[in-house]
Amino acid sequence: MKLSNDNSNNMQPNTFEKFSSMLKQDLEETDPELYQLHLKEKKIQREFISFNSNDNIISRAVFQASSNLFVNKYIESYREDNKLRRFENMTDLLKITEARAKKLYKLDDNWSVNLAPVSGTQANLLIFLALKGKDTKILGLNTEQGGHYSFHYKPLRHQKSFEANLFHFYEFGIKENNELDYDEIEMLAKKHKPDILIAGAFIRSLDWDYKRLKEICDKYNMLLHADISHPAGLVSADLQNNPFPYCDIAMTVLQKTLSGPRAGIIFYKKNKYFSDSLKYGSTVMYGNPHVHVIYAVSVALKEALSPEYKRSMKLVQSTANRLCEKLRIFGFNVFNTTSHMLLIDLQNKDISAVDFEYLADQANMVVEQSSIYTCPNLYNKKGLRIGTSGLVRRGFVEHEMKNLAGFLNDIVIIFNENKNNIEETIQSERFKELKERIKNLALQKDFNY
């Protein structure tokens, strides 16, 4: 039989040299379009002051760790023969990272860790599926008053959700003093008999009484799941209540107060009926661990274990309290806080949340419009959600909060001076001067990469 004379895979010498040369090029040379996009993003981050409670500034070490050689391969975690040499370093990385995660929250060997989730939303989905699969009953804070959309999976902002066909959701709310209504939670638990109670929120400035929630769970045979995505850093520094003595499962992301890359971690008790599903089910959900991301996660966890980090969390909390005080002096209705997060009710100001967010953006500030418990509406938001984690990491501390609160107040003043006209506000000299002041201050607080 005559063999094919197909030489399509035989790269000519000149072609190979060009290909080999391309592999050695820096990003600026290989893809100048995206390199310029990177420079533009760097300019925005340097010149903006971010009050966004979702945003943070990673360290230089985490930044460096986010680009690493583990991106070239992956570990086949479902294989029992992962003692092969090619898996050795990745196996060590996973062990080191799991040990650091457990040490951060003082967990013993009764706990295990799943490092596979690439986001908190995926982590919550795996948790729900691990309990009973389809038809799991879930009780959590309603989205209009602060519950994250991954607690409910119902249509939000006109999005459709397939998860709404999998689970049954029940919701509790916030009382008029910004406190949780634990009596309502118990009443709903008695009425609906959920499988899981979620202690966690996307928009909440106060703490949780995990002990009370555990008592309700025990009484009505529910599991307690703590989603500490926002306060994770504060919890690790003993500045907020610790859920681990009471919960069966916990989850956090890294990119908020833990100041790491975008990733999630699930903590779960061993020897429970759901333990194997949380250990092995992630292979089906996420594939194999993204070890190149976990490498940066591990560095962030090591930083979070340091005394310096714990002191920074105290500063984050005290700075939030100081910013709250200064904003109230300017007449803002700010809810009480025990965390990094501030919630502002704008209903006493002559400006909408959407206009405030837009004008702040035009003035080189990041704030986020938010639904609040005093006006729970996802489609006509009356509040702002801001935070101090990124501010402190950038170098803004307590004595500078008067200045930053003044910037936010100036947005309202200048808007009102221009008869609440967006374009006239942006074109006004006072607004341009404000933008320049913000930009100059931001550049004085540059980050080192």
The tokens of 80 are what? 């029992």
Distance CA 211, CA 65 (A): 38
Residues 138 and 270 in one domain: yes
pLDDT at 1 over 50: no
Residues 130 and 258 in one domain: yes
pLDDT at 131 over 90: no
Strands (E), 42-156: 49-50, 111-114, 137-141
Q: Residue 18: inside a domain, yes or no?
A: no
pLDDT tens-place string over residues 377-432: 777 889 999 999 999 999 999 999 999 999 999 999 999 999 999 999 999 999 99
Q: State residue 78's pLDDT score.
A: 57
Q: Residue 17: inside a domain, yes or no?
A: no
Q: Residue 61: inside a domain, yes or no?
A: no
Show the domain range for 118.
69-304
Give the domain-ending residue among 237, 272, 304: 304
Residues 175 and 281 in one domain: yes
Residues 275 and 320 in one domain: no
Distance CA 297, CA 301 (A): 6
Confidence of residue 11 (pLDDT cuts 50, 70, 90): low
CATH number at residue 146: 3.40.640.10
Residues 230 and 327 in one domain: no
Residues 332 and 283 in one domain: no
Q: State residue 161's pLDDT score.
A: 57
Which of 426 and 22 is assigned the larger pLDDT?
426
When divided into structural domains, the chain yields a total of 2
The partner residues of 341 in beta bridges, in order of sequence, read: 387
Cβ count within 10 A of residue 163: 17
Q: Residue 133: inside a domain, yes or no?
A: yes
Give the domain-ending residue among 264, 282, 304: 304
Q: State residue 323's pLDDT score.
A: 98
Q: Residue 310: inside a domain, yes or no?
A: no
* pLDDT, mean of residues 5-21: 70
Strands (E), 115-245: 137-141, 168-172, 196-200, 223-227
Residue type, 230: H
Q: Residue 42: inside a domain, yes or no?
A: no
Long-range contact pairs involving 63-66 (C-beta distance under 8 Å, separation at least 24):
63/449, 64/449, 65/295, 65/296, 65/298, 65/299, 66/261, 66/293, 66/296
Residues 291 and 362 in one domain: no
Residues 188 and 245 in one domain: yes
pLDDT tens-place string over residues 61-110: 999 999 999 999 888 765 666 678 888 899 999 999 999 999 999 999 99
Distance CA 58, CA 60 (A): 7
192 contact partners, CB below 8 Å, separation of at least 6: 137, 139, 168, 170
pLDDT at 239 over 80: yes
Nearest to 127 by CA among 235, 244, 10, 226: 226
Residues 102 and 161 in one domain: yes
Residues 268 and 384 in one domain: no
Residues 382 and 292 in one domain: no
CATH number at residue 349: 3.90.1150.10
Q: Residue 147: inside a domain, yes or no?
A: yes
Token pair 């989730």: residue: 117
Give the domain-ending residue among 270, 304, 338: 304
Residue type, 250: A
Q: Residue 424: inside a domain, yes or no?
A: yes
266 contact partners, CB below 8 Å, separation of at least 6: 113, 114, 117, 123, 126, 127, 249, 250, 251, 278
Helix (H) or strand (E) holding 442: helix 429-444
Residues 208 and 147 in one domain: yes
Q: State residue 55's pLDDT score.
A: 87
pLDDT tens-place string over residues 322-375: 999 999 999 999 999 999 999 999 999 999 999 999 999 999 999 999 988 888
pLDDT at 443 over 70: yes
